Structure 1
Amino acid sequence: MRAFFGLVFVVVVGVAVAEPSWLYVRVYRHALPLVQSQTLWLGAGTTVERKLLAPEQTLHWQLLEGKTIRLTQSRRVAIENAEEPLLRTLVVRYDGELPPVKFCQFLMAHHPLVEYAEPVRRQRLLSTPNDPLFSEQAYLQAIEAPAAWDVTTGSSGVLVGISDSGVRITHEDLSAAVAINTGEVPGNGLDDDGNGYPDDYRGYNLSWRDDQTAADNVVHPTNGHGTSVAGIVAAVQNNGKGISGIAPGCRIVPIKATPNATDGYILFGYESLIYAAVRGCAVVNCSWGNEDQAPSPIEESIIAYAVARDVAIVASSGNGTSTQPMYPAAYPGVLGVGETEVDGRIVPGTGIGAHCKILAPGSGARTTGSASDADYTYFSGTSSAAPMVSGVVALVRSRYRQLTALQALEHVRLSARDVSSVNPEIAMLLPGMVNARRALERDPFSTPAIVPLRTELRRLDGAVVQRGAVGDTLQVFVHAVNRLGSGSQLRWTLQVIQSWGGETDAVSVLDATVTRPTVAAGEELMIGPFSLVITRAEPLLHFFRLSVSGRGSGGADYQDVALLPFYPTADWVTIEGDSLRLSVGDYGWIGRNAGSGQELKGEGLAVPQLGSLLYGGGVFAVHFPTEQVRSGIEGDALATDNDFVPLTIVHDTNWSQRVLGDTTNWRGTAIGITLDEQFGVLDRSTIHLRTKLTNSSHVSLQDIAVGYFFDFDLAPSGDSSTVSLLFQRSGACAEIMERTSRDPIAVALVRSNEQDAQLQCAGLDASYARVGNFIPERKMESLRRGTDLQFGSLGDKSIVVGARFAGPVAPAESRTMDIYVLVGRDRTELRQRAEALSAIEYRMPPEGISITPQPAAGDAVAAICPSAIVGTPTQWQLRTLDGRSIGEQTFATTPEQVVVPLSSVASGVYVLVVRSGGVLYRQRLVRLR
Structure 2
Amino acid sequence: MSFTRTLRAVSGAVVAGALLFGAAPNALADQTRDDQWPLKAFDAASIWKESTGKGVTVAVIDDPVYGDHPDLKGNVLPGKSFIDGGRADRESGKNHGTGMASLIAGHGHGAGKADGVMGLAPDAKILPVGRPEVGAGVDNSGLGEWIRYAVDQHASVINLSIAPAFLTDSDREALAYAAKKDVLVVAGSGNDGEDKVTPLAASPGVVAVGAADKTGKIWAKSNSGSQMMLTAPGVEITSASASGSDPYHLADGTSDSTAYVSAAAALLRSKFPDLTAGQIVNRLVKTAALPKSEEGIHLPDAHYGFGIIRPYSALTKDIPAGSKNGPLKMPKADSSAGVGGTSAGSGGQQASGEKGEGLGTGAIVGIAAGVLVVVAVIVIVVVRQKKNGRNGPPNGGPGGFGGPGFAPQQPGPYQQPGPYQQSGPYAQPGPYQQQPSAPGSYPPAPPTQPPGR
SS in 1 for 2:149: helix
Alignment of 1:590-601 (within 5 A): none
SS in 2 for 1:125: coil
Specify which of 387, 390, 395 is matched with residue 262 of structure 2.
390
Q: Is the 8 A contact 2:284 2:309 kept in 1?
A: yes
In the TM superposition, what is the alpha-carbon distance from 1:340 to its structure 2 partner? 0.4
Name the CA shift for 1:207/1:444 in 2 (closer, same or farther; >3 Å): farther
Q: Is the 8 A contact 1:165 1:223 kept in 2?
A: yes
Q: Which residue of 1 aligns with 2:437?
A: none
Q: Which residue of 2 aligns with 1:339?
A: 211
Structure with the largest fraction of helix: 2
C-alpha distance in 1, partners of 2:394/2:131? 48
Q: Which residue of 1 aligns with 2:94?
A: 223
Q: What amino acid sits opposite 1:255 in the alignment?
A: V
Matched, 1:162 2:60: yes
SS in 1 for 2:275: coil
C-alpha distance in 2, partners of 1:362/1:255? 22
C-alpha distance in 2, partners of 1:389/1:280? 19
Q: Which residue of 2 aligns with 1:147?
A: 46
SS in 2 for 1:413: helix
C-alpha distance in 2, partners of 1:422/1:368? 33
SS in 1 for 2:102: helix
SS in 1 for 2:406: strand
Name the CA shift for 1:239/1:275 in 2 (closer, same or farther; >3 Å): same
In the TM superposition, what is the alpha-carbon distance from 1:561 to its structure 2 partner? 4.9
SS in 1 for 2:228: coil
Alignment of 1:96-175 (within 5 A): 122=3, 124-127=5-8, 132=30, 133-155=32-54, 157-175=55-73
C-alpha distance in 1, partners of 2:270/2:294? 32
Q: How many residues align?
A: 323
Deviations 1:115-164 (A, max 9, x none): xxxxxx8474101xxx7232211112223332211212121x21010110
C-alpha distance in 2, partners of 1:345/1:222? 33
Q: Is the 8 A contact 2:279 2:322 kept in 1?
A: no
Q: What amino acid sits opposite 1:149 in the alignment?
A: W
Specify which of 272, 287, 295 is matched with residue 400 of structure 1.
272
Specify which of 110, 113, 124 is matched with residue 239 of structure 1.
113
C-alpha distance in 2, partners of 1:284/1:337? 13
C-alpha distance in 1, partners of 2:195/2:168? 19
SS in 1 for 2:407: strand
Name the CA shift for 1:171/1:406 in 2 (closer, same or farther; >3 Å): same
In the TM superposition, what is the alpha-carbon distance from 1:259 to its structure 2 partner? 4.6
In the TM superposition, what is the alpha-carbon distance from 1:414 to its structure 2 partner? 2.1
Matched, 1:355 2:241: no
Q: Is the 8 A contact 2:71 2:107 kept in 1?
A: yes
Matched, 1:437 2:315: no
Specify which of 143, 149, 158 is matched with residue 275 of structure 1.
149
SS in 2 for 1:242: strand
In the TM superposition, what is the alpha-carbon distance from 1:288 to its structure 2 partner? 0.8
Q: Which residue of 1 aligns with 2:243?
A: 371
Q: Which residue of 2 aligns with 1:558?
A: 406
C-alpha distance in 2, partners of 1:514/1:381? 44
Alignment of 1:425-824 (within 5 A): 428-429=301-302, 430-431=304-305, 432-445=307-320, 451=327, 453=329, 515-517=392-394, 547-548=399-400, 558-561=406-409
Deviations 1:222-279 (A, max 9, x none): 32111111110010144243121000011111110125999xx775333221111010
Name the CA shift for 1:253/1:558 in 2 (closer, same or farther; >3 Å): same
SS in 2 for 1:410: helix
C-alpha distance in 2, partners of 1:378/1:164? 18
C-alpha distance in 1, partners of 2:241/2:170? 34
Q: Is the 8 A contact 2:395 2:407 kept in 1?
A: no
Name the CA shift for 1:516/1:363 in 2 (closer, same or farther; >3 Å): same
Q: Is the 8 A contact 2:76 2:89 kept in 1?
A: no
The list of structure 1 runs, each at least 4 consecutive aligned residues, that deviate by more than 6 angstroms after superposition, is 423-427
Q: Which residue of 1 aligns with 2:177?
A: 305
Name the CA shift for 1:225/1:558 in 2 (closer, same or farther; >3 Å): same
C-alpha distance in 2, partners of 1:348/1:426? 20
Q: What amino acid sits opposite 1:256 in the alignment?
A: G
Q: Is the 8 A contact 1:346 1:423 kept in 2?
A: no
What RMSD in Å do the two structures reach over aligned CA positions?
A: 3.5
C-alpha distance in 2, partners of 1:158/1:373? 31
C-alpha distance in 1, partners of 2:140/2:115? 30
C-alpha distance in 1, partners of 2:313/2:145? 33
Q: Is the 8 A contact 1:345 1:423 kept in 2?
A: no
Deviations 1:259-316 (A, max 9, x none): 5999xx77533322111101000111000123x44x5332211101012122110100
Q: Is the 8 A contact 1:123 1:266 kept in 2?
A: no
Matched, 1:286 2:179: no
Deviations 1:383-418 (A, max 9, x none): 111000000000000000001222212222222122
Q: Which residue of 2 aligns with 1:815?
A: none
Q: TM-score, normalised by structure 1?
A: 0.32
C-alpha distance in 2, partners of 1:425/1:333? 25
C-alpha distance in 1, partners of 2:279/2:53? 18
Matched, 1:254 2:152: no
Specify which of 290, 301, 325 is matched with residue 418 of structure 1.
290
Alignment of 1:173-184 (within 5 A): 173-179=71-77
Q: Is the 8 A contact 1:174 1:235 kept in 2?
A: yes
Q: Which residue of 2 aligns with 1:380?
A: 252
Name the CA shift for 1:215/1:409 in 2 (closer, same or farther; >3 Å): same
C-alpha distance in 1, partners of 2:261/2:316? 16
Structure with the largest fraction of strand: 1
Name the CA shift for 1:261/1:354 in 2 (closer, same or farther; >3 Å): closer
Bigger relative CO (Cα 8 Å, ≥ 6 apart): 2
Q: Is the 8 A contact 2:279 2:326 kept in 1?
A: no
C-alpha distance in 1, partners of 2:329/2:96? 33
In the TM superposition, what is the alpha-carbon distance from 1:176 to its structure 2 partner? 1.8
Matched, 1:206 2:82: yes
SS in 1 for 2:185: strand
In the TM superposition, what is the alpha-carbon distance from 1:452 to its structure 2 partner? 7.5
Name the CA shift for 1:229/1:450 in 2 (closer, same or farther; >3 Å): closer
Q: Is the 8 A contact 2:63 2:131 kept in 1?
A: yes
SS in 2 for 1:177: coil
In the TM superposition, what is the alpha-carbon distance from 1:548 to its structure 2 partner? 4.9
Q: Is the 8 A contact 1:123 1:267 kept in 2?
A: no
Name the CA shift for 1:122/1:425 in 2 (closer, same or farther; >3 Å): same
Q: Is the 8 A contact 1:205 1:255 kept in 2?
A: yes
Q: Is the 8 A contact 2:156 2:182 kept in 1?
A: yes
Deviations 1:157-206 (A, max 9, x none): 21010110111111111112113xxxxxxxxxxxxxxxxxxxxxx11111
C-alpha distance in 1, partners of 2:395/2:220? 40
Structure 2 unpaired stretches of 5+: 9-28, 331-380, 382-389, 411-453
Structure 1 unpaired stretches of 5+: 1-120, 180-201, 209-213, 455-488, 490-512, 520-526, 528-545, 563-929
Name the CA shift for 1:206/1:452 in 2 (closer, same or farther; >3 Å): closer
C-alpha distance in 2, partners of 1:300/1:161? 18
C-alpha distance in 1, partners of 2:320/2:227? 24
Deviations 1:578-617 (A, max 9, x none): xxxxxxxxxxxxxxxxxxxxxxxxxxxxxxxxxxxxxxxx
Q: Is the 8 A contact 2:68 2:90 kept in 1?
A: no
C-alpha distance in 2, partners of 1:361/1:266? 27
Q: Is the 8 A contact 1:163 1:272 kept in 2?
A: yes
Name the CA shift for 1:445/1:373 in 2 (closer, same or farther; >3 Å): farther
C-alpha distance in 1, partners of 2:409/2:204? 17
Q: Is the 8 A contact 1:148 1:437 kept in 2?
A: yes
C-alpha distance in 2, partners of 1:337/1:514? 35
